[in-house]
Structures are given as C-alpha cells and as structure tokens.
Amino acid sequence: MTNRPDLPAEIARRRTFAIISHPDAGKTTLTEKFLLYGGAIQMAGQVRAKGEARRTRSDFMQMEKDRGISVSASAMSFDFENYRFNLVDTPGHSDFSEDTYRTLTAVDAAVMVIDGAKGVESQTQKLFEVCRLRDLPILTFCNKMDRESRDTFEIIDEIQENLAIDVTPASWPIGVGRDFIGTYDILRDRLELMDRADRNKVAESVEINGLDDPKLAEHVPADLLGKFLEEIEMAKELLPPLDPEALLNGSMTPIWFGSAINSFGVKELMDGIGTYGPEPQIQSAEPRKIAPEEKSVAGFVFKVQANMDPKHRDRVAFLRLASGHFKRGMKLTHVRTKKPMAVSNPVLFLASDRELAEEAWAGDIIGIPNHGQLRIGDTLTEGETVRVTGIPSFAPELLQTCRAGDPLKAKHLEKALMQFAEEGAAKVFKPTFGSGFIVGVVGALQFEVLASRIEMEYGLPVRFEASQFTSARWVHGGKDAVDKFAAANKQHIAEDNDGDVVYLTRLQWDIDRVERDYPDVTLSSTKEMM
C-alpha cells in the first residue's frame, strides 16, 4: 500500500515497525517466526538462545536473565518477499516503559499482539495510547487461537470499545479451542488450515471461490461450517471492510487470527504488513519536516545503549534514518554541537549477528558506536541545521537519593550517573540544596539495575535511599520568572543532567500551589529531548 508514490524503490520496500503487547501474549514467539520466515534464523528457538548468550556478557545481564526480563531493545532487519522489514524490539516489561515509548518514535507502524483468551490487557492499552498520539498505523494479531479463546465478535468489540479504533477482520477463525481448524482469509478468499501435528509447518492454503464454493465443505467439518458461515455473514454486515487509507491514518486496524507457536497466521500477517503497512513516513522536525526521499541523509537517535562490552566504554547509538541513502564512511553533522562526525563503523542488526552497514536507506536503523557524543534525541544530517522533534522524556515516577559507598568517590559517581542519564536509563537531578544526587526512574526495578551496573561498570558500590520527594516537574517560563521561582523555592529545586531547572515535589499539593502562586511559570511532566 502506498501513500507516498514518489519514493525510490529501495525506500518504498521498507517496513519499519515494532510489536506492542502485554507480557506473555506471544511477542517473542511471533518475533521468532518473523525471523524464521525472513530467513534470518534457521530454526525456531534461536531467539531465546541468542538472548541468553548475549546476556551472559555481564552480571547486570545476569540479573535480567534471572528475572526473565528483556532490558535491552534492539533492531532486527530481514527480508520477506520483496520487502525489507526492520523490526524494532520493545522491552515488554512495564518497568521499562520510557524506553519503549521512545522506541515507538522510530517506527512507522506497530503490530499489536493480543491473547485470544485475554483480549486487550493493561500494557497493550498503554502502548496503544502512545501509538495513537502519533496516529501510528496498527495491525493486530490475535494469538493463541489453538487454545480456548473468546468469541470472535467479543474480541473485536473489546478492541473497538477500549481502544476506540475501527476493526476489520482480515481473517476469520473457524472453530474454537480444540476444534479450531484454521481461518478463512477474507482478503484473499482462501482457507488456511492449521497442522496441529507439526508446529513448524506453515499452514496449507486452499483457494476457494467465494463462500458458497463446495470446496469449503470438503475441508470444514459440517458441525463447524454452519456456525462459521453464520458468523462470517454477520461480520460482513456489521464490520467495515478494509479501508487502506483508514489503516494508514491509524483509525482502523485489520485483525488476523492465528497461533504463533504453531506458525499459523504469521505469514498472512507478514503479507499484510508488506501490502498494507506504511513505507517510511515524513518525519516531524524543526524548522521543516524531513521526507524520506530527500537526497541528503538525515537521522535521529532514539536509543543509546552503553557498555555493551564492559571492557570498552563505548556506546551504541541507534539511529533511525529519516531520509536519503547512507553509505559507510559518510561525514555527517551532529546538529546539536554542529560538529562533523565520520560514521565509519556503523552496524546493522541482522538477527543472526551485527554486521558492518555498508549502506542503509531511509527507514533503516543503524547502530553507531561512539564515546558518548550521541544522545537520545540528537539529529545527524549532511550539514543542514534541522532537528527531529517529538522524542519525549517523561517525568520519573519514583525518586531515590543515590550515594557512593565511599564518600570520596562522589565525583566518580556523578560521572557514572550522568552517563546513565544520557543513555536515558534514568533521570539524574542535582539538588541546589544539600549533597548527593536524586535519581528518578519509571519502574522500581531500575534502581537495582542501576546499582548493579554502576558497581559492574565503574567498580563503585552505591546505595539508593528513600527520598523525601516523590516526583519531578520541568519548570518552563521566561528566564526572570524561572529564576525568581527557583530562588523562592530552593529546597525543591534541582538541575537535570542537561542543566534544566526541575521542581521536586512531595505531593500533588505542591504542584497545585505552584500553579496557583506562580502563574508565569508552568510545570510539565515531559520534556522534549534535544
């Protein structure tokens, strides 16, 4: 599907997307099947196995392994039919949601996976709302249809009601639970039959010629056929047909029914992503938008991963290319500092391994090893001063004071904390009053992750202690107004790692008071990264 007919073929074939889901719905299993059909792995089971190998690299990773949580997100590229898929992995655990939100700024579409027995769960709803903020096109996969699942209309209704989006069935399940035999592919008028005996076997397709084709009765047992025909009649009457435009503007989602573990319905979904999913889209930026077909290269950093190898203090910045055709060795301008940067060893993340990226196109994601120059939200261009916008930073929901075990090591601690702040792993606030640092995170587990990383990577034992503050807000307003406000509220004021003024709060009451007493400053819970 195209809403951008002028794109060069190499860009037009790219589909950059993420999978959003509630833990346990089947994201890992589906990812693995994508990679399998994309030829990136040979055998099911490798994704987890590879995850384990990667995790043993450090104890911090050991910790996530013990807890079975995937902390690090990465991007994977593979080909499927004529398409190049870039799948950006989002960490699924709710503790790491800020990272997930930012990941969603780097994709053009999302695949929403729901469990057929559970429907729309809390984390799915939250992530969906982030996609909605950007009108991101969403394709839905209803998984685990091999097990007892909810009534099909009920699932569709729930999505429509809870997420306020039109749903159109791309396929329709035949039979439920043990009796589930496959689906009718509405878009291509054919039957897909699941092989329960062989999980890795791709479904058998049977072309049919309309729903009154006698072939239907040859493949669908009589006791299921009647109900199926009744349902599909009703579905056609009650549910809208696929409208590609509505899909692209985010107001309609097609839903496929399948079972990732049985390799069922996955190829149809991939076909759907290719056929109806969006090509690389225009990127919002200041002072002008960036179109993917522009000749010169522009891209933005949406994630930084530090210390992938603890022996080297290097970091990998994940850059989403917004435009152009990138070639290895190119000299780009780092817009924030206006400094040139030769990108000589960019990496492309093929599922099987990292590889040097000789070239990349708008829509692709490359990793750029660097020593800390690249931060989340940074834009790289071929010289023009244009800055990609819309990469949010959220106010942390939990604050703790961080102290070095050895008080003489406070400077080291500051360095370590600043690095994690740049990486986006935590917010670090330096209070104007008193000593120590206040560290803010979105999920409690991150304090433990940070403590273990600081010890591992910097050899610094640290303590996190309760802080009197519970939340933080960025202070905006004219310089005089902000200065006056800061002077009058010293006990509450801190600077974040960019030097911006932050107001630390204990209660909602604090915020209400500021709003009442200082009409010329505003407090905000997000700040745009720049």
Annotated binding site for GTP: 21-28, 89-93, 143-146
**How is residue 247 written in tokens?**
């899909």
- Min CB(22)–ligand G4P separation in Å: 7
The contact pattern for ligand G4P, residues 248-267, with x = CB under 6 A and - = no contact, is: -----------xxxx-----
Asked if 521 and 482 count as a contact pair (C-beta separation under 8 A), the reply is: yes
Site string for ligand G4P, 329-368 (x = CB under 6 A): ----------------------------------------
Separation in Å, CA 427 to CA 247, 293, 450, 455, 473: 36, 36, 11, 18, 12
Q: Could you tell me the smallest distance in angstroms from the CB atom of residue 76 to ligand G4P? A: 14
SS3 assignment for 213-225: CCHHHHHCCHHHH
For residue 313, give both structure tokens. Answer: 């203090």
92 versus 173: smaller Cβ distance to ligand G4P: 92
Closest distance to ligand G4P from the beta carbon of 134 (Å): 22
* 504 contacts 429 by C-beta, under 8 angstroms: yes
Q: How far is the CB of 121 from ligand G4P (least distance, A)?
A: 10
* Cβ count within 10 A of residue 150: 18
- Work out how close the CB of 20 gets to ligand G4P at its nearest, in angstroms, rounded to a whole number: 10
Burial bucket for residue 243 (CB in 10 Å: 0-12, 13-18, 19+): middle
Which residues ranging from 128 to 157 are in contact with ligand G4P (CB under 6 A)?
Answer: 143-144, 146-147
Number of residues that bind ligand G4P (CB under 6 A): 17
Smallest separation (angstroms) from ligand G4P to the CB of 203: 13
Q: How far is the CB of 89 from ligand G4P (least distance, A)?
A: 10
Looking at the Cβ atoms of 260 and 486, the one nearer to ligand G4P is 260
Best CA proximity match to 321, nearest among 71, 95, 1, 10: 10
Least Å distance, CB 155 to ligand G4P, is 15
> In the window 78-117, what residues touch ligand G4P (CB under 6 A)?
92
Question: Would you say 258 and 145 are in contact if contact means Cβ atoms under 8 Å apart?
Answer: yes
Nearer to ligand G4P, 103 or 143 (CB): 143
- Residue 401 engages ligand G4P in binding (rule: CB under 6 A): no
Place of tokens 């060893």: 345
* Residues contacting 285, CB < 8 A, separation 6+: 298, 322, 379, 386, 387, 388, 389
Identity of the residue, 178 or 513, whose beta carbon is nearer to ligand G4P in the bound complex: 178
Residue 130's SS3 state is: helix
Contacts to ligand G4P from residues 16-35, by CB under 6 A: 21, 23-29
Residue (14 or 267) nearer to ligand G4P, CB:
267
Q: Tell me the two tokens of residue 177.
A: 């639970």
28 versus 467: smaller Cβ distance to ligand G4P: 28
C-beta of 104 vs 297, nearer to ligand G4P? 104
How far is the CA of 381 from the CAs of 159, 281, 317, 357, in angstroms? 40, 17, 15, 17
Q: Considering beta carbons, is residue 242 or 261 the nearer one to ligand G4P? A: 261
Q: Where are the alpha helices (H) located in 41-190, listed in sequence order?
A: 46-55, 59-67, 97-103, 122-133, 152-163
Give the torsion through C-alpha atoms of 98, 100, 106, 112, to 10 deg.
-140
By the 8 A CB rule, do 95 and 445 touch?
yes
Kindly tell me which of 96 and 469 has the beta carbon lying closer to ligand G4P.
96
Q: Would you list which residues are annotated within the binding site?
A: 21-28, 89-93, 143-146
Residues 413-432 vs ligand G4P: string with x where CB under 6 A?
--------------------
Whole-angstrom distance, CA of residue 307 vs CA of residue 313: 6
- Per-residue binder mask for ligand G4P (CB under 6 A), 180-209, x = binder: ------------------------------
Structure tokens, 180? 């589930």
State how beta strands 252-257 and 138-143 pair: parallel
Residue 286 CA to residue 290 CA, distance in Å, equals 9
For the CB of residue 113, give the shortest distance to ligand G4P in the complex, in Å: 7
Cβ atoms of residues 335 and 353 within 8 Å: no
Q: Catalog residues that contact ligand G4P under the rule CB under 6 A.
A: 21, 23-29, 92, 143-144, 146-147, 259-262
